[in-house]
Every structure is written in C-alpha cells, then in structure tokens.
Amino acid sequence: MQMKPYRIGTRGSPLALAQAHETRSRLMAAHGLPEDAFEIVVLSSKGDRITDRPLSEIGGKGLFTEELEEQLSDGRLDLAVHSSKDMATKLPEGLGIVAYLEREDPRDAFISPAAPRLADLPQNAIVGSSSLRRQALIRRLRPDISVIMFRGLVDTRLRKLADGEAHATLLAYAGLKRLGKTEVVTELLDPESFPPAPGQGAICIEARLGDERIAELLAPIDHAQTHAALLCERAFLGSLDGSCRTPIAGHATLSGDQISFFGMILTPDGTVSHEVRMTGAASDASALGAAAGAEARGQAGPGFFDSWT
C-alpha cells in the first residue's frame, strides 16, 4: 500500500525553498526514498507579507513561523523547515526543534559598491539593515553611519542597494551561499568584532514532540555538533528573553567534547556593550548558554535593559 508522502512545511521565499529542498534531499539520501515520498508545502507567513515595518513593531520572530506551527500542531504538516535565527525561544506547546542540519558559515557579509570594507565606508554613509543586532554593531564600530531599514527578500535588498538607497547592506553569508549569490559579497565580517546572531547559518526542523515516526525519520540528518552549538546559543538567547526587539549576538563552536561560547549584548545605539566567554563540556551546552546569559545580565546591571523595551 502506498504511504502518504511526508509533508514538509516551508515559507515561500527563494531561501526558504532552498532550505526545504536541501532537507528533502538529505532525507531521501538517508533513507533511500524517492522524491515523491515527500511533499513540500509552501505557506505564506505574516512576516513575509508585512515588509514596510521592523519586525520589532509587528510582533517579532513568531511572525515567520505562526502559520507553519498551526499546521504542524493539527497534523496537516509532518515537519517544518526554518532558519534557526528566525525561531522564538519559546515554541508552541507540543512542538520542538527535533533536528539541525550541519551549519553553514555563520558570518555576516558586507555588501557595498562604495567601499571594500565596512571600516572604509565614507563618513556619514548610509547602511540598510532591519536587524537590531547589525544596527547596534554597525553603530558600535562606526557611530557616524546612518542605518535605515531594509526588509524583504535577499533580491529585494540587493535591488535597493543597486538603486542607491544605501551605500551598503549586510546579509547572512550562509543564505547567500545557499542561493548561489556569493559573488555579491564585498567583505566577510570577523565574528570576533561582528558576532553573528544566535542560530545564524543553521537550518532547523520543527516537529511535534512525541511523534516517534517523525523523530526516527529526522534522526539520521541531525548534525550533533550543530545541535549542541544551537542548544547553547538558544539558551543564551532565552535567558536574556531574546527577540527581534533586542540586540544580542552569540556563537558557539565545538572542539572534540568541549564547547566554547562568545556572546555580546548591546544597547540599540551601540554605545554600551558587554561580552561573555565560556567554555565547558558539550554535553552541558544548554546550561553553559544559560550561565553565559546570566553572566551577561549580571555585567550589564538592571538599567542596561531599559533601552530594550
């Protein structure tokens, strides 16, 4: 008897579709299944439809996942593929991130026809970015720069740049690699001075908790090192109540059974920042991330977070 195909939910952007197709290809290879064993279901998210305002004004990260999670919860989807950095730290009851594909390069890419490096932009240059983290880091490095909002698909942002709306923009290098657009990159930013968003570069797969059939399907494509790194980064984010309203950077790396974490919190204007570094056992990834968040919060003091509201 023919089994119904597994239903993979995704947003409809070119990057989201590339990530869904990569997930399907990995599942086909892992289980020796044909393409028609999977159906890719494209849903429009509120975050994709509303592009004229910052995410912080319209509800945050959940706007990219709400429709997918609704259909996961009621069984219309078997799994949903997301960019990890788009995921809220608190997921709907009964859902969880079950697997992570191996992480791509997590760095930010600087793209500009006006300068070879971010540091070389002309005085009082304009940079387009909708990310509060990127905005704060840019202002930290270059207080003279004006940052304007750039939202929309990758091609939309590149077109705005080509049309002269800004001197430069920043995008995740991983997304550009997945779209085959690395030729637009002017500079890859050093993660020490310009640390990435927690989860940047990693594809995650959300499913119903307790659904053993789907857990067994996903187990072979879950990348253990990426999973541990993301547990750490998301715990850091969660301990700081991180959302699209907050400038938070965090990056975990693994070496053998050890995990190293570097995190940063900033005021939105970039004038004040606090860094934290921790190393521990990879098996304690979540606890390490939470401890790093508590350390950052302690360094900052209560008044620091007033600027985040």
User: Where in the sequence numbering do the catalytic residues fall?
Assistant: 86
Print burial letters for 155-177: b (CB count within 10 Å at least 16), e (below 16). Answer: eebbebbeeeebbbbbbbbbbbb
CB 172 within 8 A of CB 194: no
User: One-letter amino acid identity for 244?
Assistant: C
Q: How far apart are CA 154 and CA 172, in angstroms?
A: 10
Q: Radius of gyration (Cα) for the chain, nearest Å?
A: 19
Backbone angles phi, psi at 115, to 5 degrees: -160, 150
Q: Residue for token digits 């699209």? A: 244
Secondary structure (3-state) at 14: helix
CB 267 within 8 A of CB 307: yes
DSSP β-ladder status, 273-281 and 79-83: unpaired
Q: How far apart are CA 284 and CA 258, in angstroms?
A: 9
Secondary structure (3-state) at 151: coil
